[in-house]
């Protein structure tokens, strides 16, 4: 009886101490996420006197759209947005489509478990390899193919760099599909392609969405090869925003406005697909 009473008291104390601690961490996390976004958004609509003021002006004294007008009219953000959208959309589609097909073939094909593990480790290693180490060879290859300053070069690179990640992730998701589903498809006379599209793909849809979103974000934010291979026609938004760092200083207003333009598509995509994304990442966490 006394032991139960002690356990009850201990549980009450833990709950009492745990709840404030939990809310403190939640509050700190929320502030660390919201504050930079607020600062970015407000700097984008501040007049120059506000974002250069010391001490900093928290609430804009006057709202202006001059920074957005400047970046779209004078700084080429409109074209950069178009380039980023095309490169990201095509690269994400190619990497997610062919990566999932390759992962399914490797997982459900006639390879042994050890061979599949070797392939999975190899694809993971490719993603860990530093991209900067391949910068010079890739530049020379693209120059010999006359693909410098083209969206085609950026699509090829972003697809190839994200391809291993998609395969590695999707192999894990396909391994979780029950064998009974595959067997029922075989009994009904379904080919491997039919089993993939009609039976397996609906089950691993959240994983495919998660892989596609990770590819989207990686491609959308890619800077290294975009700055190396683009001169004028294929500049993406990350390259354009770096141009606001000049020898005269930082152009805070236009930089913040471009940052808002960069964030909005990513926020919209993740918001629209958040259910499948969270479910896919949870599937990956359970698998691991």
Q: What is the pLDDT of residue 92?
A: 97
Q: What is the pLDDT of residue 56?
A: 83
Cα separation of 88 and 103, whole Å? 21
Residue 13's CB: how many other CB atoms inside 10 A? 10
By the 8 A CB rule, do 150 and 233 touch?
Answer: yes
The single residue listed with the structure tokens 């003021």 is: 53
Quickly list H helices, the chain.
2-45, 48-51, 66-73, 77-108, 113-128, 135-144, 151-175, 179-187, 192-194, 205-220, 224-229, 237-242, 252-272, 274-287
pLDDT (tens place) for every residue of the chain, 288 residues total = 545 555 555 555 555 555 677 778 888 888 888 999 999 999 999 988 887 888 888 888 888 999 999 999 988 899 999 999 999 999 999 999 999 998 998 888 777 777 777 777 777 777 777 888 889 999 999 999 999 999 999 999 999 999 989 998 898 888 888 888 888 888 888 887 888 888 888 889 999 999 999 999 999 999 999 999 998 899 999 999 998 888 787 888 899 999 999 999 999 998 998 887 877 777 654 444
Residue 279's CB: how many other CB atoms inside 10 A? 15
Cα separation of 91 and 159, whole Å? 5
């Amino acid at each position: 009886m006394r032991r139960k009473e002690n356990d009850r008291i201990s549980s009450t104390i833990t709950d009492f101490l745990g709840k404030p601690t939990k809310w403190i961490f939640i509050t700190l996390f929320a502030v660390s996420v919201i504050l930079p976004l607020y600062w970015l958004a407000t700097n984008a609509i501040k007049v120059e006197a506000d974002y250069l003021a010391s001490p900093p002006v928290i609430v804009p004294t006057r709202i202006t759209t001059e920074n957005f007008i400047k970046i779209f009219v004078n700084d080429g953000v409109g074209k950069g947005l178009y380039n980023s959208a095309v490169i990201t959309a095509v690269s994400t589609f190619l990497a997610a489509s062919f990566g999932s097909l390759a992962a399914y073939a490797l997982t459900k094909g006639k390879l042994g478990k050890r061979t599949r593990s070797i392939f999975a480790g190899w694809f993971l290693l490719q993603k860990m390899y530093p991209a900067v180490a391949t910068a010079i060879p890739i530049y020379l290859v693209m120059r010999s193919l006359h693909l410098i300053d083209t969206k085609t070069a950026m699509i090829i690179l972003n697809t190839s760099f994200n391809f291993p990640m998609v395969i590695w992730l999707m192999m894990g998701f396909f391994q979780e599909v029950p064998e009974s589903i595959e067997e029922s498809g075989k009994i009904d006379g379904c080919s491997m392609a039919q089993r993939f599209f009609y039976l397996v793909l609906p089950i691993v849809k959240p994983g495919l969405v998660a892989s596609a979103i990770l590819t989207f974000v990686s491609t959308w934010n890619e800077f290294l090869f975009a700055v190396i291979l683009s001169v004028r026609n294929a500049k993406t938004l990350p390259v354009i925003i770096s141009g606001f760092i000049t020898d005269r200083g930082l152009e805070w207003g236009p930089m913040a406005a471009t940052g808002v333009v960069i964030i909005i598509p990513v926020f919209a995509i993740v918001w629209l697909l958040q259910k499948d994304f969270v479910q896919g990442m949870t599937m990956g966490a359970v698998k691991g």
